[in-house]
Amino acid sequence: MFRALTVGLLILLVPGGTAAQDLPTPVPGRIAPQIDGDWWTVAHNPDLGKVTGPKQQPVDFAIWQAKDGSWQLWSCIRGTRCGGNTRLFHRWEGQRLSDPDWRPMGIAMQAEPKLGEAPGGLQAPHVVRDGDVFHMVYGDWVRICHAQSRDGKTFERVLNERGQPDLFAGPYDNTRDPMLLKIGSLWHCYYTGHKTKQTWGSAVFCRTSTDLGRWSEPIIVSAGGAAARFGAAPTSAECPFVIEKDGEYVLFRNLAYGVPERNVQYCSRNPLCFGVGDDRDYVGHLAVAAPEIFVHEGQHYIAALTTALDGIRIARVKWQKT
């Protein structure tokens, strides 16, 4: 998902004949990511048995280490024959981060309509460890939901007072693509949604919580700007991912999957503002899709979808000043 070329050197044609060099000039003096070395593929399009679809694709995913040290990968597989919105979660396991071709472990989770989840609607898992508990947030097509685990492998939904796993929904439609970042004692949940007849067809939102149960009202932290020209309105603010680096926060905002895949980054000292309707914090563009950034033994890594949308790959990341 990261590219080794600088933004100024990459000419990437996109629909309509627009090229990536027409993106804004990066704000100087900020940190920006760069791919450092070759990719290796850790997951391929899985065999789902009777629900395997002829055009299924692994899309949004999460990578983390379980309690026993093994590497876990869950991906939303879309285009399956599970019914409804065609989506479910599949799991892979690897013993070493550097290993290619992790072992497929089968279907990990499917939607539970009895708990209010839309049939076939599971989207974009994200997992973080907090002490001895692994927290997973995910979308159910309408809401952001919560599950947790003690071993980092088997997750159970956390049910609220209504007996459902949802944390919140809205304000736009198809609330999805959540990720958690804990800053001090405050959890930040970044996510997206889209809405017609709004100033921004889609936006990156954030809500905060001290207990993962009660959440603040949403605020828009990124939307619009020149980068929005490179993605259709409903998909111009997808897969938000925020990482803290040297006292600054870098937001990865996805514009498109496949060919050409497009992701833009913004860097801010304020984790609740990366520019709304402007490019004040824009620092670069990478030819990747749905990236997730994580740290292992002091080294930053990036995981992203393969360009053909038939798997998930990993590479090292280094940081440079714009």
Is the predicted pLDDT of residue 240 greater than 60, yes or no? Answer: yes
Encode pLDDT of 208-237 as tens digits.
Answer: 999 999 999 999 999 998 877 777 788 899
Q: How many CB atoms lie within 10 A of CB 202?
A: 25
- Nearest Cα neighbor of 150 from 235, 47, 68, 220 is 68
Identity of the amino acid at 307: T
Contact in structure between 81 and 51 (CB atoms under 8 Å): yes
Q: Which two tokens stand for residue 103?
A: 């072992």
What's the pLDDT band for 24 if we cut at 50, 70, 90? confident
Task: Give the per-residue pLDDT at 11.
Answer: 33
What's the pLDDT band for 21 if we cut at 50, 70, 90? low
What's the pLDDT band for 197 if we cut at 50, 70, 90? confident
Who's near 281: CB < 8 A, 6+ residues apart? 27, 30, 251, 266, 267, 268, 273, 274, 275
Q: How many CB atoms lie within 10 A of CB 54?
A: 6
Burial status of residue 22 (CB atoms within 10 A of its CB: 0-12, 13-18, 19 or more): exposed
Burial status of residue 44 (CB atoms within 10 A of its CB: 0-12, 13-18, 19 or more): middle
DSSP letters of 267-302?
A: EESSTT-S-BSS-TTEEEEES-SS-EEEEETTEEEE
- Nearest Cα neighbor of 15 from 195, 229, 211, 216 is 229
Task: Give the per-residue pLDDT at 172.
Answer: 96
CA atoms within 13 A on the CB side of 15: 12
Backbone angles phi, psi at 245, to 5 degrees: -145, 115
Identity of the amino acid at 122: L
Q: How many CB atoms lie within 10 A of CB 68?
A: 11
Encode pLDDT of 147-173 as tens digits.
Answer: 999 999 999 999 999 999 999 999 999
What's the pLDDT band for 317 if we cut at 50, 70, 90? very high
- Nearest Cα neighbor of 201 from 228, 169, 226 is 228
Encode pLDDT of 247-268 as tens digits.
Answer: 999 999 999 998 889 999 999 9
Is the predicted pLDDT of residue 43 greater than 50, yes or no? Answer: yes
| pLDDT: which is higher, 276 or 15 | 276
3-class DSSP assignment, residue 229? helix
What's the pLDDT band for 22 if we cut at 50, 70, 90? low
Mean per-residue pLDDT, 11-40: 75
What's the pLDDT band for 23 if we cut at 50, 70, 90? confident
Instruction: Please tell me what DSSP assigns to residue 201.
Output: S
Is the predicted pLDDT of residue 15 greater than 50, yes or no? Answer: no
Task: Give the per-residue pLDDT at 311.
Answer: 98
Q: What span, in angstroms and rounded, lies between the C-alpha atoms of 124 and 76?
A: 6
Instruction: Name the region of 225 (left: φ>0; alpha: ψ -120 to 50; beta: rest).
Output: left
Is the predicted pLDDT of residue 16 greater than 80, yes or no? Answer: no
Burial status of residue 213 (CB atoms within 10 A of its CB: 0-12, 13-18, 19 or more): exposed
Task: Give the per-residue pLDDT at 226.
Answer: 82
Is the predicted pLDDT of residue 183 greater than 90, yes or no? Answer: yes
Task: Give the per-residue pLDDT at 20.
Answer: 57
Task: Give the per-residue pLDDT at 65.
Answer: 98
User: 15-321: what fold?
Assistant: Tachylectin-2; Chain A (2.115.10)
Task: Give the per-residue pLDDT at 260.
Answer: 86
Q: What span, in angstroms and rounded, lies between the C-alpha atoms of 19 and 6?
A: 14
Encode pLDDT of 90-144 as tens digits.
Answer: 999 999 999 999 999 999 999 999 999 999 999 999 999 999 999 999 999 999 9
| pLDDT: which is higher, 14 or 263 | 263
Q: Evaluate if pTM is beyond 0.85.
A: yes
Helices and strands per DSSP (H, E), number in the chain: 0, 22
Q: What span, in angstroms and rounded, lies between the C-alpha atoms of 280 and 225?
A: 9
